[in-house]
Amino acid sequence: MKVNVGNLDRLIRIVIGLALVSLPFWLDSPWRWLGLIGVMPIITGLSGRCPGYRLMGLDTCPLERRE
């Protein structure tokens, strides 16, 4: 799969993912474990590949890679 997530999008995904992952440490309710959903934005932000973008045909990466 080619890189389809641009740099700004990657940064936003990583920041939001870290914020979500930190929820279990800050909240004291049964819903705090939903913060583990933040793992997915971190993974897609670090790898630069988003399966959801691929399914929808989106590409925020400004560089075209030669194949």
Summarize pLDDT for 21-67 with one digit per residue, the tens.
Answer: 999 999 888 888 889 999 999 999 999 999 998 899 888 888 765 45
Distance CA 35, CA 67 (A): 38
Give the three-state DSSP class for 37.
Answer: helix
Q: From the CB of residue 45, how many other CB atoms can be counted at a distance below 10 Å?
A: 21
- Asked if 38 and 21 touch (Cβ cutoff 8 Å), the reply is yes
Residue 11 is inside which H or E element, if any?
helix 7-21
pLDDT for the residue numbered 66:
47
pLDDT for the residue numbered 37:
95
Residue 24, in any domain of the structure: yes
Residue 14, in any domain of the structure: yes
Domains identified in the chain, total number: 1
pLDDT for the residue numbered 43:
96
pLDDT for the residue numbered 61:
84
Place of tokens 């913060």: 35
Residue 66, in any domain of the structure: no
pTM of the complete model: 0.83
